[in-house]
Chains A and B, each alone.
Chain A
């Protein structure tokens, strides 16, 4: 049953991998496991979801069913925050988690939320409060590459999520870095490898930008949008020395998505890879469709 879900619903695959990343960091990289921080993220996110779902959720299904379906998304958001956002203050952590989840209910156009929840939480906490900071995700090059290959392999084998957006982003971003660092500046290859093997880039390209609810529906619009994000992120990283540039750019680019959707009226994303889950007998899955994966 679990395996079945794992192979069908990208969210379970994401939870599995994020659990591995966080445990690896705590156990092997001796992160100063800030349990209070992680628990604040998780508890606030879950509470916010419970409250907002109760008051603002679509009343199509029973409350407990809706909660059960949205639960994995909340967990993924909390993991995203735990892995990338650091702060000394419990209230800032709670604020970030609250903004992440609340934005899904409040900031939306035609039932589709605008911002990736954890990305928005991270960006607002860092730029508005100035008491939180972005963890660049230095887990060691070898480890990140291994994790990246595992993620990619898992996605390819299970087809659990679409790869177009991840590969477009990674390809453009890494390609531009390669041109700049190796071809133009002439640094040795390990310089470039170190640039692209950061945990934050891995999380961003496989777990954050891929959020199907916050990307353009039309395939070509999506590709162009993604290339633009990668290019701007490359520029900010290389010439403006901004840490976590991809996440900032993503937040700036997401308001364009409704516009792109309107210009290219494509079919709304359907949350399925298998015909089995496309059928109406599982109509509760439509709830899932309206929730973010992150």
Chain B
């Protein structure tokens, strides 16, 4: 099926694209290339791992280089390039979503056009990059293997000590971030190999395309982790990382950082639909700060087994097809049609299950909050989760009947709540939303229920209402309550 993959590889997607892997890139172009958001697909079952790393390198491909620590020396058949559209598909499908509902006009009775439709989500991810140079051999560093895969020259290096590796990379034209050494040393001593990638210009020309395709590697290792520490060496500030993980059993969890679900199922004002991307950006930043940063945010978790019909509620993009999943590295779906991973299964018992669970984790890391690489575990947690925000269109038409008047009162109350919710979710002041709220976007609604009208009222209310430290009170109550209970029961 190699030819099939290649054909797909040539079909280029026109959408704006995303990220590179969290390995660090080295650059000849003197540090102008920065990682910002990375995307990576992890597939794990037993001790088998498939990792797909996306590059969104914009610039001269001669400057592209990527270094990724890997636990074993990879064989040539363990490395391949895949079509980059797979990342767009997974992102579209699993991204936080906005859903809309329509109110019925209570004066007309019920109609059948009650609908719920997904909104196209804005891309929540940005850009990232990598860079490269030429390669020669030197003593301190051993070239374990050397391959050409797709448009890439690939070297697998092992080193005895970090300064040797650093010198080697420098001598071969790589620019190494000054503080990379503190990370290289522990990696070398942990017996990790270095997967070094650059673009092979000859092969690249044959492809007749400007895109660098994602690289997919597979290996056996009990270690289920992503090396992010190298990526921090040349990133300034916070970096976003989106992990799309697939397992047979259930959700993927981070084991050395706190897992938390991003806040979901909230009703927000109608006008947010114009700017959902920035709304979610604000929301994420606010939650991230609130949760003390060193957190793995769950944005999506679902059973996406090909026969499973209900894959989201609602779906933002099309659910990944069996073919997409196999492309992503889900080897256990390989039927007769998808034989290019059949070799993976030989050495380990396979329970034959075709279940696929999809987890999307979102990290925003920096050196201060993330001292360790990301470690994961596959859990048997099969609970579904999605980041979902709800807007509701008001009823239209004449609302002068009694039920209509009542509806308007309810609408006003609901919209006030939505405005308060908006500020609570994003941690922004209500005034920041003045422009959006007053923009002519809900003319249909009677004036008194428009967001613009309600805004000043909400402002007054939220000023008066200083939120009590309710959780503190509840905590004290729990402790006192249990003490009291035990005393009442005569245990103490």
Binding site for B on A (CB under 8 A): 1-2, 5-6, 12, 15-16, 19-20, 23-24, 27-30, 32, 68, 71-72, 86-88, 130-133, 136, 138-142, 181, 184-188, 190-191, 193-195, 198, 240-241, 243
Given contacts A2-B483, A133-B377, A243-B377, 13 further A-B contacts (CB under 8 A): A19-B482, A20-B475, A27-B471, A29-B291, A30-B291, A88-B380, A130-B380, A133-B253, A133-B379, A140-B292, A186-B182, A186-B186, A188-B182
Instruction: State in angstroms the CA–CA spacing of A27 and B189 once bound together.
Output: 41
Q: Smallest Cβ distance from A267 to chain B, in angstroms? A: 28
Contacts known (A185-B189, A241-B222); A132 close to B380, Cβ less than 8 A: yes
CB closest residue in chain A, given B47: A241
Instruction: State in angstroms the CA–CA spacing of A136 and B256 once bound together.
Output: 7
Most interface-central of B190, B372, B489 (chain A CB within 10 A)? B372
Instruction: State in angstroms the CA–CA spacing of A190 and B261 once bound together.
Output: 25
The 8 sampled A-B contact pairs (Cβ below 8 Å) are A5-B492, A12-B486, A29-B258, A87-B380, A130-B249, A133-B380, A184-B189, A191-B372
Q: How large is the interface on B (under 10, 10 to 19, 20 to 34, 35 or more residues)?
A: 35 or more
Residue of A1, A24, A72, A241 near B487 (CB, 8 A) is A1
Residue of B185, B261, B371, B383 near A193 (CB, 8 A) is B371
Instruction: State in angstroms the CA–CA spacing of A283 and B377 once bound together.
Output: 49
Binding site for A on B (CB under 8 A): 182, 185-186, 189-190, 222-224, 249, 253-261, 291-292, 294, 371-372, 375, 377, 379-383, 471, 474-475, 478-479, 482-483, 486-487, 489-492
Contacts known (A1-B492, A86-B379); A140 close to B478, Cβ less than 8 A: no
Is A19 within 8 A of B479, CB to CB? yes
Is A68 within 8 A of B490, CB to CB? yes
Instruction: State in angstroms the CA–CA spacing of A143 and B471 once bound together.
Output: 16
Residues of chain A within 8 A of B478, CB atoms compared: 19, 23
Residue of B254, B260, B382, B492 near A29 (CB, 8 A) is B260
Q: Smallest Cβ distance from B438 to chain A, in angstroms? A: 33
Instruction: State in angstroms the CA–CA spacing of A136 and B478 once bound together.
Output: 24
Residues of chain A within 8 A of B377, CB atoms compared: 133, 136, 243
Is A194 within 8 A of B256, CB to CB? yes
Q: Smallest Cβ distance from A25 to chain B, in angstroms? A: 10
Instruction: State in angstroms the CA–CA spacing of A241 and B182 once bound together.
Output: 23
Q: Smallest Cβ distance from A192 to chain B, in angstroms? A: 8
Contacts known (A68-B490, A195-B372, A241-B375); A186 close to B261, Cβ less than 8 A: no
Most interface-central of B189, B291, B380, B478 (chain A CB within 10 A)? B380
Residue of A12, A138, A186 near B259 (CB, 8 A) is A138
CB closest residue in chain B, given A9: B492
Residues of chain B within 8 A of A131, CB atoms compared: 380
Instruction: State in angstroms the CA–CA spacing of A87 and B471 once bound together.
Output: 26
Q: Smallest Cβ distance from A259 to chain B, in angstroms? A: 31
Residues of chain A within 8 A of B189, CB atoms compared: 184-186
Most interface-central of B224, B253, B255 (chain A CB within 10 A)? B255
By Cβ-Cβ distance, the 10 closest A-B pairs, closest first, are A190-B371, A133-B379, A138-B258, A185-B186, A27-B471, A2-B492, A5-B492, A191-B371, A186-B185, A136-B255
Residues of chain A within 8 A of B258, CB atoms compared: 29, 138-140
Is B487 within 8 A of A140, CB to CB? no
Residue of A12, A16, A187, A188 near B479 (CB, 8 A) is A16
Is A187 within 8 A of B186, CB to CB? yes
Instruction: State in angstroms the CA–CA spacing of A193 and B256 once bound together.
Output: 12
Contacts known (A15-B482, A241-B223); A27 close to B475, Cβ less than 8 A: yes
Q: Smallest Cβ distance from B190 to chain A, in angstroms? A: 6
CB closest residue in chain A, given B290: A30
Is A185 within 8 A of B479, CB to CB? no
Instruction: State in angstroms the CA–CA spacing of A194 and B370 once bound together.
Output: 9
Residue of B372, B382, B482 near A194 (CB, 8 A) is B372
Is B186 within 8 A of A133, CB to CB? no
